Amino acid sequence: MTIESVLPNTTSVLGNSIPTMQARPAVQPGVVGNVASFASTFRARALTSGCEELDSFFEAAGQKYNLSPDLLKAVAKVESTFRPHITSKSGAMGIMQLMPGTARYLGVDDPFDPEQNIMGGTRYLRENLDRFDGDIKLALAAYNAGWPAVKKHGGIPPFRETQAYVPKVLGYFGTDDPSYNDLTYSGFDMTGKISEPVSSGETATSSAFNFNEALAQMLFIKLIEMQMGSGKDNPGGVL
């Protein structure tokens, strides 16, 4: 009896038997496609307001302030889960969770009017994007914690809520590191893909870039919330 008969995955080299490396099974192309399909479906369902009228408000606000409607829906999803009459313990109101002072500054007469609230929240996000040179992470941090806090700390403030808020919004949006073009209305179509090149001779990538990682992070945050029993009943508001 030879060692090869006992251990068939060996070869003899100068009389010594050594194991041979077996090839790992190839990843089936369909598996990757199924993951991408699931991610796309999950994202689409997460950003469904359930109301055509609300969707039209997000569309109009995105067009007016040149922001992706899906980015606005991602903010609304985290802030209020699209509930127009919700008020947080801190006093933030409506779909985009505007604080009373912020609502007055934005000219929102009725924060519980979905159209006014969405338009005001979109304007505020647009102002923060311009204030922080298009840095969406800083703009979202400013939306949640106030732009003075972002200026003071030189980045995302070390507040637990804000630290969780930024990746959660970007997770719903579909990427944790969007380019400026990903955020704009003109460069966005409703399939979640960039419809215009970033620059001449360069093809833009899908806004779903790195979504699987963002999705895993978002689900992890949701699991923690469920374990803590928070249920997001008190969504954070704009300062």
- Residues with a catalytic annotation lie at 79
- Token pair for residue 192? 């979640």
Nearest to 184 by CA among 195, 174, 170: 195
> Cα(239)–Cα(229) distance, rounded to whole angstroms?
25
Q: Indicate the residue type of 73.
A: K
Residues forming beta bridges with residue 87, ordered by sequence position: 93
CA 41 to mean position of chain CA atoms: 14
Neighbours of 191 (CB within 10 A): 11
DSSP characters over 212-223: HHHHHHHHHHHH
